[in-house]
Amino acid sequence: MSVALGSAATALPPLRDPAARGRLAVLLAAAVVLWPLLVLAEFRPAALFEAGNLQVMADFLRGFLPPSTAPDFLALLARATLETLAIATAGLALAFVIAAPLAVLATRTLAVARIGPGPGRRRNALLRAGTRALLTLLRAIPEVVWALIFVRALGLGPGAGVLALAVTYGGMLGKVYTEILESGDTRSARALLEAGAGRLGALFYALVPSTAQELASYTVYRWECAVRASVVMGFVGAGGLGQLMDQSMKMLNGGEASTILLTFLLLVVLADAASAVIRRVLA
């Protein structure tokens, strides 16, 4: 009997992944699509390791040592760091002011006219479509382009960076807020609307309590991104660390540029740690 059982066990076919063919087909399709894109983008990582290119990069990086610690420069660096934090925080605050009402208008769940047939149904659909188009326009134009526009209007300084972040991040926040509000359990919001409650009542008593953690987490993440973006916008004259970095690079002062990069690295690490703490508190 034991011999028969042993022979039956050895006769079982080997285990195979039933989805192996599907995964292989997806992998091959991705390779077929990705390869011409890499060729079009002139992606040649091997060129980095050519002897001449390695020497050029080494000579360039050698100019960044040692980092500058001059007292006058450190004072400018401290001011630029505070400007960067101010740009990111003020820009995100204005972005929230833009995004919140647009998200309320764009959320289908909060549309009273969708409950049943009525004269306002078509008007509400047009308003929602127009709001979504506006959100697309705001986030489609990069913040650097907005910064260039506002620098022309306001002149050099952090004000242009604040407005650029407010416009672009207003579109981003509004789009994601809309998706978060629509992806949760919407039955309680619909029940409130059917009972005669208004759009804001359904928002604050039904949707916000169930999605508050996700909304807050994404907002904190966008603030972290705004810190990085504010540095980039400084290269076009929007103030902060980016503008100071641009001046140091134009003066070929690698030591100052190295100190600015280290400060920016520390700033990103601190922003990431702060966002992690806030997420744990909201969890």
pLDDT tens-place string over residues 157-202: 788 888 989 999 999 999 999 888 888 777 777 777 777 777 777 7
| pLDDT of 8 higher than 60 | no
Q: What CATH code is carried by the domain that includes residue 143?
A: 1.10.3720.10
What's the domain range around 95? Answer: 71-282
Residue 41 lies in a domain: yes
> What pLDDT sits at residue 170?
92
Do 37 and 110 share a domain, yes or no?
A: no
Query: In the chain, how many domains are there?
Result: 2
> What pLDDT sits at residue 117?
57
Do 48 and 87 share a domain, yes or no?
A: no
Q: Which of 74-83, 107-116, 215-224 has the lowest mean pLDDT?
A: 107-116
Q: What is the DSSP letter of 28?
A: H
259-263: average pLDDT: 88
For the chain, what percent of residues have pLDDT higher than 90? 9
Domain boundary among the residues 45, 62, 79 is at 62
Q: pLDDT digit string (tens) for 114-142?
A: 565 556 667 777 888 888 899 999 988 88
For 214, residues 6+ apart whose C-beta sits below 8 A from its C-beta are 180
Q: How far apart are CA 12 and CA 3, in angstroms?
A: 15
| Contact yes or no for 260/232 (Cβ under 8 A) | no
For the chain, what percent of residues have pLDDT higher than 70? 87
Q: Which of 182, 161, 172, 189 is closest to 100 using CA atoms? A: 172
Do 144 and 242 share a domain, yes or no?
A: yes
Do 75 and 186 share a domain, yes or no?
A: yes
Do 83 and 113 share a domain, yes or no?
A: yes
Do 159 and 107 share a domain, yes or no?
A: yes
Burial group, residue 75, by CB count within 10 angstroms (0-12, 13-18, 19+): exposed
Do 102 and 148 share a domain, yes or no?
A: yes
> What pLDDT sits at residue 150?
87
Domain boundary among the residues 28, 62, 96 is at 62
